[in-house]
Every structure is written in C-alpha cells, then in structure tokens.
Amino acid sequence: MQGKVFAIYQIEPLMAIKSIGIDIRDAHEKGAGKSRYALEITRALLAEGELKNVHFVLFTKRPNPHFPSGLQVLISGRGPFWHLNLRRYLQSRPVDFFLAPTSFIYPAIAPSSQKTALVVHDLIAFLYSKTHAWFPTWVERLTLSRALKKTRLIICVSRHTAHDLATLFPTLKKPVLIASPATNLRPTKSQKLDLPSRFLLGVGTLSPRKNFQALFAAFSRLAPKHKDLHVIIAGAKGWKTARILRAVPSALRSRIHFLGYVSEPQLCELYSRAAMLVCPSVYEGFGIPLLEAMACSCPVVASNRTSIPEVVGDAALLVDPSNTPAFADAIEFMLGPKVRATYVHRGLKRAQSFSWEESAKHILAEF
C-alpha cells in the first residue's frame, strides 16, 4: 500500500542527508486533504528524522503553531513572489533535500543544484479541470511539467495518482514513491453536537467534483421510507458552492444540513454518530475522509471511481455515482444492522493498514 517505487530508475547514491527543508505554509488542520497531508507528514518526518540526526528547516510565511519555532524560517511575499524569495534564500543557504508537499512552484524554479521532492496529490487540473477552480488549474498546468523534469523524487499519495501521472507524462523517467496518507482519528462517545438521531454524512469542500448532488438524488429516493433519516454535509465552501446548494430538493431542505468547516473533535463525533459516510466523488487522488470514517467505526458507501477502490479495498460498498437507483440501494443495504456491523469491522481493520510513520520512513529512505 505504501513505499512502492513505480520505476526502474533509482536516485544515484548520495551522501547521508543532514538537512531537509519543507514548505509548511499549508500545513494546518483547517484545510482540505493537501493541508492535512502536509501537517501530518511533516510531523512524522520530524519524529523519524530526529532518530537519524537530520536537521529540518521549515519554510513558511507566518509562524505555524504546530511546529517548533526554532525550526521555522519566515519567507515574505505573496503568491509566486514567496517562491522567488525562497529560491533566493536557498541559493545562499541550501538544504540537502527540499520537500514540496502542496505546491509545484518551487520545484519548477529551483536551481539545478538544489535537490527537491514534490508530492502529487491528484491530476484534477489535467483530467477534470471543469470541476476545479480555474486559477489553481492554470498554476498546476503551468508548473507541473517543468517541476517533474527538475525534481529528484516524485511522491504520489496513491497508485491511482501514480498511474494518472504516468499516463499524462509517458516519457517521465524518475523515481515515483507511494507515500499514502493515514489518520489519527478514533471513535468517540461525545454527544456535544445537536444532531438528528439518524443521518447520512458527507465530508468535503463544497465543490463540483465531490458530487454531493448524487447524494441528494439518492436521498430523495430513500426519504419517503426513512422519515427519520437526514443528511449532514461537513465541509467549507468551495468553488461553485451555490450550484451545489441549488441542487438540494426543496421538499427536503429541512432534512439536509450544511455545517461548514468543523473542528477535528467535531468531525470525530460526526463520524462516530453517523449511519454511514457517503462519498459520491467523481475524482479523488486519495480521499482522506474515507480513512477517517473507517477509523471512527463509520461504514462507507462510495463511488467506484479513481483511487477510492484502492483506499477502501473490500471495506466499503462501491457504486457507480451516476447510477442513482444503485446508489440509493447501496445506502439502503448499509442501513441494515448486520451489514453495517460487518463493514464497521472491515473498515477498522483497513484503516489500521495506513500509517503516517511508515510513509515518513519510506520518504526518508528514498532521500
């Protein structure tokens, strides 16, 4: 699941790594999957690197409370100017390796003397650009090809993303390491939130590729029979949120609830109390909510597309998200107590097979 290199080409032998720089601007709890990946993989790398006497330099725009202040270097500048200022800094004070966990810009402009590694979370900007905001799409299309040519190591969060990368860039001859996300969430008995007694849960930024409209359509078929069943969506507003809100059936507005961004303890409570997580996404580079749900004893009904089958294995019910009757049937089936218990057990076991520590070890080994 993790640590597989999808290339016969290997990095040439290097001296022992003494210093690693990491871009931590987006490493925080309040963001989406990329932000959480940056936060947790940096934490795990620091823990593993300490055992190997590796010195870390964490580059950011403003102090990050999640990491020791003594390791942080503040770089000024907005947008691309931050990366240009970072380049100037590293030209005079290079590190042995630089990891870019959320952006392709610095690897694309780094001097050839600076070894870099970049993380590819997904290829939405290339494969599903109509479901993605135009500006990040433009930036990724502009920088990824150049970054791939210059970087020493490519890290993908899933085999599916690695496959997409190889398809889009067939002449690429660089090491590709799979270093998957994990989750530290666990079930909770908390009852602090005012929630319906039974609800289907959707988690993610309100954007087109999350395809929450498919959940609303399936719920419309179930609602007349399950009058106590509600839908709760937890996630910040995103690109074209208004379109998603307009898709809510008028007759069901009182039973479909949008919570916006929720804290980690609140998210744990939502997973722990939900009847199931429903994930009808049309594209996921990985899908961290899938792991989070399974780790919190919440069964999963999900789309059968892109990386989702790789992440959940046999621990979820997978359905074509464009087939509304089939999606509704899968949700209905998962509502059965015995079926639900089976998938809760499978999900807990599946979630335990992912580890931030193992991903960090594989990254350090490649460095």
As a whole number, the mean pLDDT across the chain is: 92
Using pLDDT thresholds of 50, 70 and 90, give the confidence band for residue 30: confident
160 shares a domain with 279: no
Q: Report whether pLDDT(84) > 90.
A: yes
222 shares a domain with 126: no
219 shares a domain with 170: no
Establish if 245 belongs to a structural domain: yes
212 shares a domain with 142: no
230 shares a domain with 97: no
Helix, strand, or coil (residue 239): coil
Residue where the block lists tokens 């006497």: 53
- Per-residue model confidence (pLDDT) at position 16: 63
CA angle 118, 122, 123 (to 5 degrees): 105
Distances (CA, A) of 52 to 3, 117, 176, 365: 19, 19, 23, 11
| 130 CB burial (10 A radius; 0-12, 13-18, 19+) | exposed
Establish if 136 belongs to a structural domain: yes
Establish if 10 belongs to a structural domain: no
Between residues 49 and 88, which one has the greater pLDDT? 88
Tally Cβ neighbours within 10 Å of residue 319.
25
261 shares a domain with 216: yes
Using pLDDT thresholds of 50, 70 and 90, give the confidence band for residue 2: low
Task: Report whether 252 contacts 359 (CB < 8 A).
Answer: no
Q: Report whether pLDDT(134) > 90.
A: no
The string of pLDDT tens digits covering residues 253-289 is 999 999 999 999 999 999 999 999 999 999 999 999 9
Rounded to the nearest angstrom, the gap between the alpha carbon of residue 362 and the centroid of all alpha carbons in its chain is 18
Between residues 131 and 108, which one has the greater pLDDT? 108
Using pLDDT thresholds of 50, 70 and 90, give the confidence band for residue 10: very low
Domain count, the chain: 2
228 shares a domain with 123: no
Establish if 13 belongs to a structural domain: no
- Per-residue model confidence (pLDDT) at position 158: 97
Task: Report whether 209 contacts 32 (CB < 8 A).
Answer: no
| 301-315 mean pLDDT | 97
| 89-114 mean pLDDT | 95
173 shares a domain with 134: yes
The DSSP annotation for 66-126 comes to TS-GGGEEE---STHHHHHHHHHHHHHS--SEEEESS-SHHHHHS-TTS-EEEEE---HHH
* CA dist., res. 235 & res. 232, Å (int): 10
Task: Report whether 311 contacts 295 (CB < 8 A).
Answer: no
The string of pLDDT tens digits covering residues 197-240 is 999 999 998 888 899 999 999 999 999 999 999 999 999 888 78
Establish if 235 belongs to a structural domain: yes
Give this prediction's pTM.
Answer: 0.90
Residue from 106, 115, 102, 64 nearest 85 by CA: 106
Rounded to the nearest angstrom, the gap between the alpha carbon of residue 277 and the centroid of all alpha carbons in its chain is 16
| 180-199 mean pLDDT | 95
Tally Cβ neighbours within 10 Å of residue 78.
7
- Per-residue model confidence (pLDDT) at position 207: 87
Q: Which residue range(s) make up the domain with 202?
A: 198-351
Residue from 150, 159, 202, 196 nearest 177 by CA: 159
Lowest mean pLDDT among 27-41, 262-276, 306-320: 27-41
* CA dist., res. 34 & res. 181, Å (int): 10
155 shares a domain with 212: no
160 shares a domain with 272: no
* CA dist., res. 291 & res. 239, Å (int): 24
Q: Report whether pLDDT(3) > 80.
A: no
Q: Which residue, 111, 146, 179, sits at the end of a domain? A: 179
* CA dist., res. 30 & res. 35, Å (int): 8
Tokens of 135: 């500006």
300 shares a domain with 239: yes
Using pLDDT thresholds of 50, 70 and 90, give the confidence band for residue 342: very high
* Paired strand residues for 56: 20
- Per-residue model confidence (pLDDT) at position 28: 86
Establish if 6 belongs to a structural domain: no
285 shares a domain with 148: no
- Per-residue model confidence (pLDDT) at position 335: 97
* Cβ-Cβ contacts under 8 Å for 206 (sequence gap 6 or more): 212, 233, 235, 236, 237, 238, 241, 244, 245, 258
- Per-residue model confidence (pLDDT) at position 8: 33
Q: Report whether pLDDT(12) > 80.
A: no
Establish if 361 belongs to a structural domain: no
* CA dist., res. 213 & res. 3, Å (int): 36
Establish if 318 belongs to a structural domain: yes
CATH number of the structural domain spanning residue 32: 3.40.50.2000
Q: What percent of the chain has pLDDT over 70?
A: 95
* CA dist., res. 179 & res. 350, Å (int): 16
